Chains A and B, each alone.
Chain A
Amino acid sequence: MSETTISNVGTDALVRSVEQGSRNAPYTLSELMVCAAAREIKDGELVFVGMRLPLIAFVVAKKTHAPHAIGLFENGVIRSTPAAELIYTMADPPNLLGATQCLDMLGVMSLLQSGRVDLGFLGAAEVDRFGNLNSTQVQGSHGMIRLPGSGGACDIASLADRFVVLLEHKKERLPERVSFMTSPGYGDGQGWRKRVGLPRGGPSAVITTKAVLRFGNECESYLDSIHPGIEVDDVLSNTGWKLQHPENVQQTPEPSLEELRAIREYDKEGFWTS
Chain B
Amino acid sequence: MGCLALRQGPSTRTRLEGAVKPMTKVCSMREVIAEFVPDGASVAMGLQMEQMIPFAAGHEIIRQKKRALTLIGPISDILFDQLIGAGCVEKVIAAWVGNVMMGSAYNFRRAVEQDGLKVFNMSNFTIALALQAGAMGVPFLPTKSALGSDTAKGNHFFYQIFSPFAPKESLWAVRALNPDVTIVHVQRADAEGNAHCWGNFGVMIEGVRAAKRVILTAEEVVDAEVIASDPNRTVIPGFLVNAVVECPFGAHPSPVQGYYSRDNEFFREYHEQTKTKAESDVWLERWVYGVSDRREYLDQVGADRIDALSVKQHAYAAQADFGY
Contacts and interface: CB of A to CB of B under 8 A. Distances in A.
A154 interface: yes
A3 B49 CA distance: 10
Interface string A115-146: 00000000000000000000010000001111
Nearest to A95: B200
Greatest chain B CB density within 10 A among A88, A146, A184 is at A146
Contacts of A249: none
A230 interface: no
B125 A152 contact: yes
Contacts of B96: 1-4, 148-151
A145 B106 CA distance: 11
Contacts of B149: 154, 158, 181-184
Given A89-B100, A90-B49, A154-B123, A76 B145 contact: no
B104 A148 contact: yes
Contacts of B262: 88-89, 92-93
B14 interface: no
B77 A89 contact: yes
A51 interface: yes
Contacts of A184: 146-149
Given A1-B100, A3-B50, A198-B147, 13 more contacts: A3-B75, A4-B95, A4-B100, A75-B202, A88-B264, A89-B77, A103-B200, A105-B124, A106-B203, A152-B124, A154-B149, A158-B147, A196-B170
Given A148-B98, A148-B105, A102 B200 contact: yes
A102 B75 contact: no
B264 A76 contact: no
Interface in B118-171: 119, 121-126, 128-129, 132, 143-151, 169-171
Interface string A79-109: 0000000001111110011000011111001
Interface stretch (B1-9, B108-116, B273-281, B285-293): B108-116
A112 B203 CA distance: 16
B270 to A, nearest CB: 13
Contacts of A180: 150
B124 A4 contact: yes
B23 interface: no
Interface string B170-183: 11000000000000
Nearest to B131: A106
Contacts of B100: 1-4, 8, 51, 88-89
A144 B119 CA distance: 14
Contacts of B144: 113, 158-159, 197-199
Contacts of B151: 136, 150, 154, 182
Contacts of B226: none
A193 interface: yes
Interface of B: 48-51, 74-75, 77, 94-105, 108-109, 112-113, 119, 121-126, 128-129, 132, 143-151, 169-171, 198-206, 254-255, 257, 261-262, 264, 267, 315
A158 B129 CA distance: 15
Contact of B169 (A181, A192, A197): A197
B169 to A, nearest CB: 7
A11 B103 contact: yes
Max count, chain B CB within 10 A of own CB: residue among A12, A103, A155: A155
**Can you list the 8 inter-chain pairs with the closest CB atoms, starting with the nearest?**
A197-B170, A148-B98, A8-B103, A196-B148, A91-B50, A151-B96, A75-B49, A152-B124
Contacts of A198: 144, 147-148
B205 A155 contact: no
A96 B257 contact: yes
B124 A89 contact: no
Contact of A106 (B77, B132, B169): B132
A158 B145 contact: yes
Interface string A176-215: 0000111110010000110011110000000000000000
Interface of A: 1-4, 8-9, 11-12, 51, 73-77, 88-93, 96-97, 102-106, 109, 112-113, 136, 143-155, 158-159, 180-184, 187, 192-193, 196-199
A143 B109 CA distance: 12
A217 B217 CA distance: 54
Contacts of B129: 106
B261 A93 contact: yes
A10 B148 CA distance: 26
A129 to B, nearest CB: 16
Contacts of B94: 149
Contacts of B122: 150
Nearest to B260: A93
A147 B104 contact: yes
Nearest to B53: A91
A4 B145 contact: no
B150 A4 contact: no
Contacts of A74: 49, 74, 124, 202
A168 B9 CA distance: 53
23 contacts: A2-B95, A8-B99, A8-B102, A74-B202, A89-B77, A91-B51, A91-B255, A96-B200, A102-B199, A104-B201, A105-B125, A146-B108, A146-B113, A147-B104, A151-B123, A152-B123, A152-B124, A155-B125, A158-B147, A158-B149, A181-B150, A196-B170, A198-B148
A183 B261 CA distance: 32
Nearest to B74: A105
A183 B124 CA distance: 12
A102 B198 contact: yes
